Structure 1
Amino acid sequence: MAAAYRSDRVLTIDGTAPPVWSPFSGFWRTLDGWVRTHGNYPHHAAGLRSGLGMPETADADQVRDALAVRTSSDAVAAITAAGGLAVPVGTEDPALDAVLRSRPLLDVRRVETPAAPPRRRTSLSQDPPLDGIRVLDLTRVIAGPVCTRTLALLGADVLRIDPPHLSEPGWQHLDTGHGKRTALLDARSTQMHELLATADVVVLGYRPDALDRLGLAPSDLIERHPGLVVARLSAWGTEHPRRAGFDSLVQAESGIAWIESPDGHNPGALPAQALDHSAGYLLAAAVITLLRRRAAEGGSWRVQTSLRRVAAELLGMPRRSEPAEAIMDDPALHTSHFEVADRAVVTSAPAIPGFDFAAPRPWGQDQPRW
């Protein structure tokens, strides 16, 4: 389980660990504190440079120098306005976390709709348990793909759809793409609606406002396609529908970065993308539960959570004043080996015993059909 939870640390391609972080992703000193940026995607790195008034050729050292003469609030505002991603590195806010913990970690609701069309499956008693269940994967990065990777492991037919204009880092898909087919398709196309019409589950991982604009909000999907199970993940929660984010940014703003500081002067990070992986496994468990409830009770169902809500849950758990000694056997003992497009790929083994991952497929190379 520990290896699967840190699967990006186990991944190798042709014997080499891929560069997981862009030089434009990290902690940076400002005049009055620290900010955390995320620039793994080229358009976010471009927004970072643009917000700081820098040319496209600016390197990480120039970004560091530009941030050092700005306040954190000014830097975050400028970068965000330009389409980049940055947050102030904040301290823990127990009152806010208590409010967030007063809400469900997994917000599950049944939605009353007209009678759903007959489904191909009415129970989950087969082996594998999700055999025949169709899952449309509209997620990116880690949390959503971990959810759908787990559903594929249990036998679901998972089809990941990405927009044609937004590429995915190759290593990232190899880490979480096990057992899925992966295609490129405009969300507004007729073909997308045909896929939705015969899906059992839709997993959403884009900003709530972006889903609204595309007509892919959970309420819209369920209204058009009664009987769906819809799982939605966002970074900051539906109360911040326009705000983009990643695990590293939520860790930084929520106070985790200072709790994990190695020396009390420099912010740090958890030894895993813990918010992503926790959210992914929680959503997968919820989807399986709701498929069972749909089989028993009928109806349409939706579940949602956010990385920020998961962070509040972790911040409310008991903690040590000092890190415990790490006790874990060699991660190499818990790996899966594949050949993907003539490349030797080593990834973590599944977290669920008794099941084996199918190989990831090359990103975007399948047809968008069931």
Structure 2
Amino acid sequence: MPCGAVSPPLVHMLIQYTLHSAVMTAVNTEFAWAALGGDPALTERVSTVVRDGALKARLPVRELARACVATCALAAAELGARRAGRADVPGVRVDDGAVATAFVSERQLRVDGRAPVTFAPLSRFWRTADGWVRTHANYPHHRERLLSALKLPEDPASVAAALAERSSREIEDAVYGAGGLAVALRTPEEWARHEQAVEVAARPLVERRRPGGGRARRPAALFGSPLLPAAGLRVLDLTRVIAGPVATRTLALLGADVLRVDSPQLPELVDQHADTGFGKRSAKVGLGTDRRTFEELLAAADVVVTGYRPGALDRFGLSPEALAERRPGLVVAQLSAWGAYGPWAERRGFDSLVQVATGIAAVEGSGRQEPGALPAQALDHGTGYLLAAAVLRSLTEQLTDGGARFVRLALARTAGWLLEGRAAGEAGNAVHAGAGAAAYAEAGAAYAGAGAAAYDGPDAWLAERDSELGRLRYALPPVSFAGGPVDWARPPSPWGTDGARWA
């Protein structure tokens, strides 16, 4: 057989291998697009550049990531076409390289050559008396609550020794009771029996409501290049960490005037804010001390995106229902870790903790013996692009029907979607069971060697620019459609340094 040729038995498996990934991606995209109420025929506008080795994991992370980005890009292309008076929707192109790089954008960021700080020393897995627990202590107030609950000094060795003597669930309850963050490792089967999991599974991937009627939205028509679907729209960004800021960063890419507003009492992590701050401005406004300024911003906003725990803003009169009543044409997008229902509704949470609770960490590791993690904060990034897509689709619907819109997503629901893909993946792998795992792996290698592009690293999808923070290296946006933008119009601002006003 000539060097580099693929043997006939592997040709069949190669085709199966390729088709299985392609089918999963198509199914995921159609599922997400349907959850947004999109026209099924438009998914034919999506094409994919497959790159072997991107987002490698046991779970179908690459397929989910593609679908989230594709759905967002399609929603952007659809809105842009409608506002530009075009009958055809521009084609969408999803490149595995761009997606894989963007899904770890917080790791790719460099500020004057300095690598970012991602996880603090006390944000990690710990062995317990009966398994594992993961803590999150990146923010000072979370670290203080964790140590207060454990009655320990800030010393990793002391924490490890203390946790090794206690059960995982006991630690989880004690730390959450003190306002901190710690989650016991569960398998997917254990999570499926949990009351919170039952509540989450009963909800759609994207919850959509119309709080009230109103006139159809008539924003200015779009002209020129690039096509900016969200041009002229004002987005009030009340989000933190990754998922929410990824959504608003994407809306900024698409032309929206995005103003992120934070409380002066809750400083943000510098590198994290820089990574998700592209295209946006950043201001500090205290809801309890400068309500007039906030109300002036709200009165002129078209979209409000919130990422705080469900109910946290209600005491300020900022529930979705209250916002829609005050602003009849407002789009309100809400994001949470565990969902706005069930016994964990008011719990704090982050991507890494949701992975642990839902069984993802068990699947990516070796079950309860040794936990693992996804190759990216995929729940955060994926949900962020879905949230942006939900906003864009809401704006498209408003062009015809008007009225306020309310959309809601949860990291735990996205995790459930990923785990549902696990079953589909196992079914696909069963096709190759007769040849054995080794042969299937060989087919995958043959697939890469037979002409599939390889993901050789992020360099092709990174860019550099100057900013007030210094020289930045950053991941380019993965959302791409014909005639659309390829980069943000402005670099991030230092946290809280912009005026609290619309551009």
Query: Cα deviations across residues 313-350 of structure 1 (Å, max 9, x unaligned)?
Result: 00000336889789413202111212222512111011
Q: Which moved more, 1:340-349 or 1:79-88?
A: 340-349
Percent sequence identity over aligned pairs: 50
1:349 aligned to 468, 472, 476, which one? 476
Moved more, 252-261 or 15-24: 15-24
Aligned to 2:237, the other structure's residue is in SS state strand
Q: 1:342 to 1:237 in 2, by over 3 A?
A: closer
Matching of residues 113-152 of structure 1 within 5 Å: 113=213, 115=214, 121=219, 127-152=227-252
Residue 123 and residue 31 in structure 1: after superposition, are their counterparts in 2 closer, same or farther (change >3 A)? farther
Q: Is contact 1:10-1:332 (8 Å) kept? A: no
Q: 1:294 aligns with which of 398, 401, 404?
A: 398
User: How far did residue 122 of structure 1 move?
Assistant: 5.6
TM-score (norm 1): 0.93
1:319 to 401, 425, 435: 425
In the TM superposition, residue 125 of structure 1 has moved relative to its aligned partner by 7.1
Q: Does 1:162 align with 2:293?
A: no
Relative to structure 1, the CA distance from residue 101 to residue 125 in structure 2 (aligned partners, 3 Å threshold; closer, same or farther) is farther
- Does residue 361 (structure 1) correspond to residue 493 (structure 2)? The answer is yes
Question: Which AA in structure 2 matches 1:218?
Answer: P
Alignment partner of 1:17 out of 115, 128, 143: 115
Query: Offset of 1:266 from its aligned partner?
Result: 1.3
1:261 aligns to 2:376 (yes or no): no
Give the aligned partner of residue 68 of structure 1: 164
Give the RMSD, CA atoms, in angstroms: 2.2
Q: Is 2:175 the partner of 1:79?
A: yes
For these two proteins, the number of residue pairs brought into alignment is: 366
Cα-to-partner distance string for 1:179-225 (whole Å, 9 max, x where unaligned):
00000001241111111111000001000121222222111111111
Which residue of the other structure, out of 436, 441, 459, is the alignment partner of 1:332? 459
1:12–1:134 Cα change, 3 Å:
same
Distance in structure 2 (CA, Å) of the matches to 1:259 and 1:330: 25
User: Matched residues in 1 for 2:249 and 2:478: separation?
Assistant: 11
Are residues 27 and 3 of structure 1, via their aligned partners in 2, closer, same or farther at CA, if it must alter by over 3 Å?
Answer: same
Match of 1:175 among 262, 269, 275: 275
Partners in 2 of 1:37 and 1:253 — Cα distance? Answer: 12
How many angstroms apart in 1 are the aligned matches of 2:269 and 2:212?
Answer: 39
* Residues 109, 122 of structure 1: alpha-carbon distance in 2 compared, 3 angstrom cutoff: farther
Q: Distance in 1 between matches of 2:111 and 2:469?
A: 10
CA deviations over 1:293-315 (Å, ceiling 9, x no partner): 11211111010010000000000
Which stretch has the larger CA shift, 206-215 or 167-176? 206-215
The reply on whether 1:277 has 2:381 as its aligned counterpart is: yes
Partner-residue secondary structure (3-state), 2:296: helix
Please tell me the residue identity of whatever aligns with 1:54.
L
In 1, Cα distance between equivalents of 2:270 and 2:346: 27
Partner-residue secondary structure (3-state), 2:339: coil
Change (3 A) 1:71 1:95: closer
- One-letter code aligned to 2:363: I
Distance 1:124 1:305 in 2: 29
In the alignment, the residues of structure 1 paired with residue 102 and residue 404 of structure 2 have an alpha-carbon distance, to the nearest angstrom, of: 31
1:116-168: CA deviations, max 9, x gaps? 6x967266677322110000000000000000000000000000000110111
Bigger drift between 137-146 and 348-357 goes to 348-357
Counterpart contact for 2:230–2:256, Cα < 8 Å: yes
Map of 1:92 onto structure 2: 188
What is the CA distance between 1:360 and its match in structure 2? 1.1
Q: CA deviation at 1:103?
A: 2.4
TM-score, normalised to structure 2, is 0.69
AA partner of residue 340 (structure 2): T
Q: Alpha carbons of 1:271 and 1:345: their partners in 2 closer, same or farther (altered >3 Å)?
A: same
**Most deviating of 25-34 and 323-332:** 323-332
Contact 2:186 2:368 in 1 (8 A): no
Paired residue secondary structure (2:232): coil
- Structure 1: gaps (5+ residues): none
**CA, structure 1 residues 264+112, in 2 after alignment: closer, same or farther (shift >3 Å)?**
closer
Quote how far apart the aligned CAs of 1:352 are: 2.1
Q: Residues 230-280 of structure 1, C-alpha deviation per residue, up to 9 Å, x if partnerless?
A: 000000000133111000000000000010106872101000001001110
Q: Would the aligned equivalents of 1:275 and 1:310 in 2 still touch at CA under 8 Å?
A: yes
